[in-house]
Amino acid sequence: MVDFEELKDALINGRKEEAVELTQKALEEGISARHLISNVILPASKVVGDRYEHGEFFLSELVQYGDTLKVVMGPIMARLKEEIGDERQERVGRVVLATVKGDLHDIGKNIVRLFLEGNGFEVLDLGVDVPAEKVIDVAIEYNADIIALSCLMSVTRDGVKEVIDELSRRGLRSRFAVLVGGRSTSEKWAGQIGADRWAPDAVNAVDAAFDLIRQQS
């Protein structure tokens, strides 16, 4: 029997080969994907988030965790599909994520993606320098629940407002929850431009995303 603590530890500490081997072994032993997600992936993500928030983990650890999570989730998601047929029935929520137009800073956004994925969200990451129109077009097509927007520089913050204004202009404001974050943003400012939630970091972004999904349902 695979020891879940061992697998969790390998995942948290970015020991990729070991984590993949243990995951495959667990699946071969007949452990369901759902069980692995609930008992390994989600608790591991929480530990990584806590360690980052408390200054025990930094970017290198997050990058290694992300690399490991990516390869571990491949076989788990494939199994989940077999188990439930339509994986969308089981999803936590769908997020379209982007760094707004004019801004190329993506490290914060990438950490948010990692934590959202680690907590069961499906995330479509549009990258950096993404215009408002594209964010919205993709959110419609992807049937997203949340549009999550990042900007580091204060000079590019208007890009966030543009997305919210464009949603209103198209009569779509109530269809998507808008989550905002990034160094130059603040709770007050996010409220002023009409965002639904603001998060100061990736850990809080996950909590906010769960809240937004709860509110929608």
**Beta carbons within 8 Å of 123's beta carbon, 6+ residues apart:** 94, 95, 96, 97, 113, 116, 117
194/200 with CB nearer other proteins: 200
Q: Is the dihedral of CA 155, 98, 115, 70 positive or negative?
A: negative
Q: Is residue 129 a contact point for other proteins (CB under 8 A)?
A: yes
171 in contact with other proteins (CB under 8 A): no
Choose, by CB under 8 A, the member of 36, 112, 156, 178 that binds other proteins.
156
Pick from 42, 189, 211, 216 the residue near other proteins by CB under 8 A. Answer: 189
Q: Which of 1, 28, 29, 54 binds other proteins (CB under 8 A)?
A: 54
| Distance of closest approach, residue 81 Cβ to other proteins, in angstroms | 28
Contacts of 77 by beta carbon, 8 Å cutoff, 6+ apart: 33, 87
64-103 footprint of other proteins as x/- string (CB under 8 A): x--x----------------------------------xx
